[in-house]
Structures are given as C-alpha cells and as structure tokens.
C-alpha cells in the first residue's frame, strides 16, 4: 500500500543546476530569474510553480518568470536547465517524475547536476473517467467492466516513466485487468483534454486539475491514490 502511495503522490520541487565550482553571485538576485516548468500551462504543476515564482518575485524584488518547456517526459526542459550557467538564475520546477526520468539521461547526472531546494506541495493522484463515455460510476464498476472487456479501456498517463505511468501498471498488476496506457507528456491538462474529447476513457490527474470539471459533471472521480481519504474529497474512496 505504501508503494502505491509514493507512486500516486505528486511532490513538486524547485531545483537549480549546480555543476562545477562557479560561485553564485554575491547579491543574488540582481536581475531576472527564470523557472523552467516541464509541462504545459494549465495543469496543477504549472499552477503551483507560478505561485512559487510570484512569491519569490515579491520577496526578491526581481522578476521571476515561468518558461513552459513541455515534451519528451520533461527531457526538453531539463536539457535547457542543464545547458544554463550554474549561477542560480535558472531554476527548475517539476513533479515527482523527475526522479525517474532524469535518472535515464546519458547527458547529466540528476544527483550531481541538480541541487534540490525544496518540496513545495503534494497531492494524491486521482483516477477519473468521462461519465458520458463510460457505463460505470465507481471503481468496482470500472474493474468489472475492464475484466469483461480486456484492453477496451484506454488510460491516460504522463508518459513512460512518469508516476502516473507506474500507477497504471501497478493498478493492472494488482487487479488483473488489462488497460491500454496512452502517454501525454505535456502534462495533466492535456490528459484531461483527451478524456473530455473521447480519446481515452480513464486518466490519472490531480485534484486541482480535475476540480472544475468534476463540479460541472464532465469528469467523474473513481478513486484517490492515497492511504487516507483526501480531506477535500471525503466521499471519494482510496485505491
């Protein structure tokens, strides 16, 4: 159970590339600071990073801007950070998938080339469906349907190696169902769009990204990937 908790909890952190012995400027920051975000604008990761950037700008008295560099499971954004000067003026904001994706790179070492600064937020991944395209209304109904219709359900995730990808694999292994994983490396906002457009029937997303769509009836929450029920969703069962 604790394994799936770690897979489904989105931990956001900011990091700056710190290779070599180049000293950080004494009066940091003296100019604009940019924060590379490896997902598209609109998702919960992007929103959280923007909140942090805004507060840093207020505290430092310097502009702190967000640069969205989505794609390739975050590799595009990480390459931008790795190529930047190690002076603290290029920060990096990502979800927990960094620990898996960066470790696969042959161009940099995530333990040597990135210096973690802080974990700023966490929330459980939630499994959602489009009630207009699916006959089930709860997790038990989904499992029964999936067992009766192998591979008929497509489940969206954040790309191979992401936490939501492993969550999909874990769910199938634990229940014996067969789903068809579909990757969307742009982030949870793209996965939600695909769900609403009928490209997929299931998706892993976040509470922040799903909330307005759930309230409008366009999206249904089947379960939360945590050991305890989420305070803001007391009626949603845990998976």
Instruction: Give the pLDDT score at 97.
Output: 67
User: DSSP string of 66-134?
Assistant: EEE---GGGHHHHHHHHHS-SSSSEEEEE-TTHHHHGGG-SS--HHHHEEEEEEEEEEEEEEEE-TTT-
Tell me the average pLDDT of the chain. Answer: 82
Question: What percent of the chain has a predicted confidence (pLDDT) above 70?
Answer: 84
pTM value is: 0.68
Closest to 113 (Cα-Cα) out of 11, 14, 21, 16 = 16
pLDDT tens, 8-32?
Answer: 333 444 444 443 334 544 678 999 9
237 three-class SS: coil
- Summarised one tens digit per residue, pLDDT across range 89-120 is 999 988 766 767 666 777 777 777 788 888 88
What local confidence, expressed as pLDDT, does residue 51 receive? 93
């Amino acid at each position: 159970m604790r394994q799936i908790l770690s897979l489904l909890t989105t931990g956001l952190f900011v990091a700056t590339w710190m290779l070599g012995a180049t000293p950080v400027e004494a009066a940091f920051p003296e100019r604009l600071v940019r924060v590379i975000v490896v997902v598209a604008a609109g998702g919960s990761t992007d929103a959280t990073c923007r909140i942090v950037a805004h507060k840093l700008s207020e505290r430092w008295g310097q502009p702190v801007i967000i640069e969205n560099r989505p794609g390739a499971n975050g590799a595009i954004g990480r390459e931008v950070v790795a190529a930047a000067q190690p002076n603290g003026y290029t920060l990096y904001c990502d979800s927990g998938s960094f620990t898996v994706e960066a470790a696969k790179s042959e161009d940099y070492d995530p333990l040597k080339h990135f210096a973690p600064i802080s974990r700023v937020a966490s929330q459980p991944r939630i499994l959602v469906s489009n009630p207009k395209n699916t006959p089930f209304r709860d997790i038990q109904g989904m499992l029964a349907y999936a067992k009766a219709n192998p591979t008929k359900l497509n489940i969206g995730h954040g790309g191979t190696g992401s936490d939501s990808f492993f969550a999909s694999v874990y769910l199938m292994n634990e229940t014996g169902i067969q789903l068809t994983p579909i990757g969307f490396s742009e982030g949870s906002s793209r996965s939600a769009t695909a769900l609403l457009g009928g490209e997929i029937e299931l998706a892993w997303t976040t509470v922040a990204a799903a909330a307005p769509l759930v309230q409008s009836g366009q999206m249904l929450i089947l379960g939360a990937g945590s050991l305890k029920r989420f305070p803001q969703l007391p009626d949603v069962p845990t998976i």
